[in-house]
Structure formats: C-alpha cells, structure tokens
Structure 1
C-alpha cells in the first residue's frame, strides 16, 4: 500500500506535494520522493525514510516548477530498497517522464519478460518500471497515446500519476480498487491524492473522486480533460476502510471513521461477550472498539497507550523487528485493566503475532479474562491488488479455526466480523473488493500472482514479509 499525490498549476507545487505526503505518511514509511517539472526539465529527489527526514527547505526549493508528483512507499523486502523508491524517472524519445504508482500489476512478470526479450534493461523489481518501459517502447507519437497504449497491456490495481515536462496525467484502474481524489487549490491549481486528508491539510476543495477507468490530463491554463478509458466496474477495497486509510478521510463519499464505528457495532451484534470493559488496539482499532462498546452498553477506555514514534507492525520488513516493536509500541494502563474481563478490539488478524503478545500483555496487567474481537472477517487469501499480505500458508486463519487461534493466543474467546456483516456495515450500494476474505480475484491474477514486495533479484523471488 502506497500514497501518491499530483499537483498541477501552482508555483508552490512541490511544497504542496510535501505536505500532502506528510498527511499520508501512514500509507508508507519505507521511502518517499517528489519530482517537479518546470516546462523544461524534471527534477527528482527520493530517499529512504520519512517525509520529514528526506525533505528540507533547501531540497524543496531546488524542486521548482508548477507541477509535482510524489510517492510514499510502504516497507518491502530487501536491504537495497532505496532502488525501489518512487517516482521513477526516465529519459526517452519524447523527452523526460516521471511515474508514481499505487497498486500492483498481476501480470508483472509476463510483461517484464516480453520487455526483456525486446531489449529492455531493468534496475529494480518494481512493476512501476514496467510502466515506464511500456511507455518508452510504444510506437505512438504522443505521450497521451503512449499512455493509452500502455494501459491496455497491464492488469491489476493501479492509480498512476505520470508527469512530463509540461503536463500531468492521472489514471485509475477500471475497478477503482485504490482510492484517488481530485481537489481544487485555493489559487486555482489542482491536486490529486490517495486520500482526502491530504486535500484537507493543504486547504484544497474536494471536487470528486477520480472515476474508475478514467484518465485526467492536466495542461497549462486549461481545465483537466477527462477521458473514460474503460467501462467502470467499481470494486473499492474494503481494507481501506478497515485498516489503511486515515479515519478522517472520505472514500467514495463515506467517512472512514464512521465505517469503522459501524463495523464495531455489527461485530457486537454477531459476537458479543460477557465483559466489564472494551479496549481498542490503537490506533486503527479505536473506532471499531467504540462501536463495539456502544452496542453492548459496556464502558470503553483507551487502556493501551501507543508510542507513536514506532512504525506500524503490519508493514515492517522482518518478523523479528515486528515482535520487538509490539513491546516498544503498546503499553497497558494497569489501573484500568486489573481485575476486569476485557474485550480487546483490533481491525484485522493476519499472522496473529501481535494479537498473541497483546493478550499476554493484558493478562500480565491483571485482566481476569481477555476476549479478542476482530472488526473484519478472517483473512484467508493473499491480496494481490496493492496490499502486501503474506502467502496463504502464513495466514493464521488458513490453518486454524477461531477456537484454535484463541487457544493458541491464550484468549478466552475470539470472534471475527462476518463477510455479510462487513457488507452490511459498508452498505449495499457497491460491490467491494473482498479478495482477502473471499478469494475472488476479480481483477485478474490469483493467490500465486506477483506481490507488492519488491524482488532485488527477479530470478530469486523473495517471500512476502508482512
């Protein structure tokens, strides 16, 4: 899962992109980058690290121009992941180009092998590099037509911001799996971003979501031109509401916090527990836990304190680091917990490592019982549409029943939100992407398709590390 931003028609484009990326830091902490264009040249800065670590005033001032695109990348496999930072810049027949991509191409290897057979040389394992090569090798005379030619050859989930020296192109796949919003800046410029929280921070007016299958072209002194490249088959990702998006963001007209609240209430209806207190796993479990407590009429407390200077365990590179960071990140308030029957609500359960340690932590703090509740269905299939979930064998729900998992983590009980309950919470106005729960790979590919994890050596495909 990554964040992208594109800004066009503003002299402060780079700084606006910087603040937008800062607001979407939760979508990726491995690396960040911004490229700017001034009509004559594209300039690029990208490095490993957080947005505030990579960019300073001097760096931003060097990235001059009225167009900027940016990218935050979440953690990947391999020590050399600086090679995989985005945007990806290249010089080609028509000039210069820079590409930022959020998603995952399920036909990555087929496309790459064809390109290699035609003489292409790759520096990384990123599918974004496929996109650059497809554009460069197209025989069309105009960049816009080369982009259309490229789009016909890729499959999967993608939101793209493509920058030339004078224009910006934004494309969303026909399923609209990953979110992408369009906003108007106060001075008349334009911004697109993965989440509306980015628009809020820079003071932009939300205009609308980029439509599934749509391409927007931004040119000097013109309104964005919209072209529908594909017939929409809208399947927004349910996991954006469950976990990834910021609670204040609005996706497809629905506030993320309110959706999580509804999930918690539905979870309480389906899997109630005889308890004294409800606690969330901060931060993404807070809204669901509040809804769970409200529905049961049980007190809700922020009984676990999170150290916000430690990254999210779901997207850290190695299992050893994840296990240490659970202890560094979460601390119980013993006075609230001791002697009580606790329900602890989390947003999802992947491997079960974090949850097991949380149960132990609560019991060590004096809880008499710990009931684990998950405000999402059981994850039984790896997502191949932009979330780097583990292989099927690494998903705990593929090997154990909820009762067996509860016993394994020493919890009194474990309850998941049902798939039907998730649908009821999100609403019946959409067909959502539920691939992690139901295994429906509607956008192509399968559980064995390429992942978001980058392989440094494409001949030795690295395992997922989430």
Structure 2
C-alpha cells in the first residue's frame, strides 16, 4: 500500500523486476526508506517520486523505469488499474461481474470462483483504468514489442481449469502428453502421472501410446509444491508426505511415470525409490517439458544454475543419476506444437519466453549479470 498526496493505492504484483537492486540503490541514495526486501516496493517509491498528477499517470511513469516481467493491479478509492509488461510474460485477465462490476485476475479460474464473466486478456504492454464515471479506458504506454508469454505457465503454473490465449490449459497439457508419446515411445504396462500437474500429460501419453492409464501415485491434497521449498531436507520429507504409491496397481508392472519437469531431481529420485519399493519391474520417466537448464528471473522461484540437474548433466547422465530405466524429455519444438504452434519454435523470433529451457532471456537480468551470472553466448 502506498499513500500519495492525491490519495492511497493498494498494489499487487505478479512477476519479477530484474533491475530492482539498481533501482533500490538509486532510490535509497535519493532518500527513500524501504520497509521490505520485496521488489514490488520499488514501484511504490518510483510512484512517490514521480511528478505526474494522478495515480494512473504516476504508475505509468514508474513502470517505464522497470525491467523484467510484471502484471500489476492497483486499487484506489475510485479506480481499478491493471498493467501488463510489454512482452506479456505474466498473465492478466479482465472479467465482469454484475451490470457494472469489473475484475482483474491472473487466471480465468479466479473469475469462475466469484461468478464473474471472462471478458478478455489484458494485452502485452496495455494499461486499463476503470472507474464509475468513465468506465474502462485502455492505453498502451510502452514501446511495442513482440509478445513472449511464459511457456511454463502452460506446463505447470496455471491451473488446468484456466484458459490462456483462448486455449484450455488442460487440453494443452494433454496435447503435451500426445507429443511426448510420439517423440519418445516405450514398451510398458502402465502410464502413471506424478500428480497433479503431470496428470493431463499422462492422459494424453496413454491415449496416444495405447498403454493403460492408472493412478499409481496418490497425492495428499493438503501439501504444497515441493520444488519451491527452501532446503533439501524439507523437500525430501515433503515428497513422502505429499505422495504415496498405490502398491496393488504398481506391483510387477513396467511403469511410465509422467511428470511436468525435472528441476533439482529431488522429487524424481524419491518417487523412483517409492515406485521400486512398491515392486515395479521397470521405471521409465517421461517429462512434459524440455530440460530445465537455466534459472528463471521473471517470477518463477528456480534455484541457481549449478543446482539445476540439466545444467550440469547430459540426459543420459541424468538417467543414471536418477536410477531409472529410461528418461526422455519433450523437445522444445514438441512443446511449441502442443501449445498451438504447428511449425514449432521460431528460432529467430521465439513466440514464447522459454529462457528456462533455451537460455535466451528476452529481458537481460541486469541485477544478476552485475552479480556475475553468465548469460548464454550468442550462437
């Protein structure tokens, strides 16, 4: 929350500001006093120092200084404001509730929960200002760029009951499984998802391969996501608490495990051990995303690069490290086909942000480069 001379504004931010450290240093030198370590606080201080007259104008002025990925919503006493970064890396949608109520949300499923009607996505680089007198006003305050929506939203982060780019997230994930089965066939008795985010891809894999689908792993619905836990000890315990093997289904079978990604490999290794302990004859991993070899600086909490399994090992070395009979990832082109790009990835002008797979960052992570991070050399 920020209190300005023309009134207060509550602000929420999804994403990550890649020049937050340099902005923070500049603002502190000019007298700003920070109350937190959040990069979002930079936006408040930039707005406070802006010479513009209204809160929407100050927000526009502040966000022109910001680099990275952001979807920002703000509410004043009389206005609702939404802004999406020029590349549209993070999602933001507009909904309507009742005759004159408006809603801004990251995902369409949130609109369903409150009974709001989906209207449209906020476009990359767009700013909407809504008030009772003028209704909805739209403007484009940033230099136009080719959109680069985060492809990992399709793979993992968005809920399967959401709609992204007029496509069902569930159907996209199911299609990822179809592409995965075409690219990486295997002889097996059972296709089993690592729940929950691996389930739609496993359904697609089973349908395309003709191998029966079964829920060989049962998820405890009260546990969160293990790859974002802070320590390995907590992550290891988290896997056991989160997942349990359906032993009667697994015993004696050659099992294909379909998961959304391999980050550190902690979860995959523990799941493999649990499946073998339950009596599986073979364990084959099929991963519904390419190898995660680069950290994300745009709002996904991935670890340092040297902690990423795919950054330090080949695919065969990862297979040996995990101790499974086979390990295969969907190709980057296969992932692009699954999200609706029939020709695959455009190497000269990629349609999505896929930096975690390709190492090609659409916005330079300037703070991290200053700290010594080595970006991928141009090919």
Q: Normalising TM by the smaller chain, what interval?
A: over 0.9
Secondary structure (helix, strand or coil) at the match of 1:305 reads strand
Q: Tell me, yes or no, if structure 1 residue 372 matches structure 2 residue 285.
A: yes
Which of 353, 359, 368 is equivalent to 1:433?
A: 353
CA displacement at 1:319 relative to structure 2: 2.3
1:261 is matched with which residue?
174
Offset at residue 449 of structure 1 (A): 5.3
Q: Which runs of 4+ in 1 moved over 4 A?
A: none
Aligned counterpart for 1:277 among listed residues 190, 204, 209: 190
Q: 1:287 to 1:323 in 2, by over 3 A?
A: same
Q: 2:208 aligns with which of 292, 295, 299?
A: 295
Q: CA deviation at 1:380?
A: 0.7
Q: Can you give the 5+ residue segments of structure 1 that lack an aligned partner in the other structure? A: 1-88, 452-466
| 1:137 aligned partner | 49
Displacement after TM superposition at 1:222 (Å): 3.2
1:229 aligns with 2:141: yes
Aligned match of 1:157 in 59, 64, 69?
69
2:93 is aligned to 181
- 2:229 maps to 1:309: no
Measure, in 2, the Cα distance between the counterparts of 1:216 and 1:293.
Answer: 43
- Taking a change above 3 Å as real, the CA distance of residues 450 and 215 of structure 1, as seen in their structure-2 partners, is farther
1:55-66 to 2 correspondence within 5 Å? none
Distance 2:292 2:366 in 1: 15
Structure 2 residue 16 is the aligned partner of structure 1 residue 104:
yes
Q: 2:312 aligns with which of 399, 402, 410?
A: 399
Whole-Å separation in 2 of the counterparts to 1:395 and 1:272: 26
Partner residue, 1:46: none
Q: Tell me how far 1:311 sits from its aligned partner.
A: 1.2
Give 1:238's match in structure 2, choosing from 151, 156, 159.
Answer: 151
**1:44-123 equivalence runs, <5 A:** 89-123=1-35
Secondary structure (helix, strand or coil) at the match of 2:301 reads coil
**Structure 2 residue 132 is the aligned partner of structure 1 residue 212:** no
CA distance in 1, matches of 2:82, 2:41: 17
Quote the offset at 1:276 in angstroms: 0.6
Residues 389-419 of structure 1: per-residue CA shift (max 9 Å, x gap):
1111010001111211111111001000111
Is contact 1:107-1:449 (8 Å) kept? no
Q: For the structure 1 residues 105 and 323, does the alpha-carbon distance in structure 2 shift closer, same or farther, using more than 3 Å as the test?
A: same
Deviations 1:63-95 (A, max 9, x none): xxxxxxxxxxxxxxxxxxxxxxxxxx1223222
User: Could you say if the C-alpha distance between residues 185 and 312 of structure 1 is closer, same or farther in structure 2, counting changes exceeding 3 Å?
Assistant: same
- Secondary structure of the residue aligned to 2:149 is coil
Match of 1:338 among 238, 245, 251: 251
Q: Is the 8 A contact 1:380 1:437 kept in 2?
A: yes
Instruction: Give a deviation string over 1:246-270, Cα, whole Å, max 9, x none.
Output: 1010011111011111111111111
Q: Aligned pair count?
A: 363
Q: Secondary structure at the match of 1:448?
A: helix
Question: Could you tell me whether the CA contact under 8 Å between 1:106 and 1:450 is conserved in 2?
Answer: no
CA distance 1:146–1:227, shift in 2 (3 Å): same
User: Could you give the per-residue CA deviations for residues 355-397 of structure 1, whole angstroms, max 9, x where no partner exists?
Assistant: 0000000000000100011010001110111111111101000
Query: Which position in structure 1 is the counterpart of 2:272?
Result: 359
Partner of 1:190: 102
- SS of 2:353's equivalent? coil
Using the alignment, how far apart are the partners of 2:355 and 2:66 within structure 1?
Answer: 19
Q: In 2, Cα distance between the equivalents of 1:435 and 1:363?
A: 34
By how many angstroms is 1:446 displaced? Answer: 6.0
Give a deviation string over 1:14-71, Cα, whole Å, max 9, x none.
Answer: xxxxxxxxxxxxxxxxxxxxxxxxxxxxxxxxxxxxxxxxxxxxxxxxxxxxxxxxxx
What RMSD over aligned residues (CA atoms) do the two structures have, in Å? 1.6
Say if 2:19 and 2:367, in contact at 8 Å, map to a contact too. no
| TM-score, normalised via structure 1 length | 0.76
CA shift at 1:100, angstroms? 0.4
State the partner residue of 2:376: none
Does the aligned pair in 1 maintain the 2:189–2:253 contact within 8 Å? yes
Question: 1:381·1:447 contact (CA, 8 Å) conserved in 2?
Answer: no
CA distance in 1, matches of 2:134, 2:228: 40
The gaps in structure 2 that reach 5 residues or longer are 343-349, 372-379
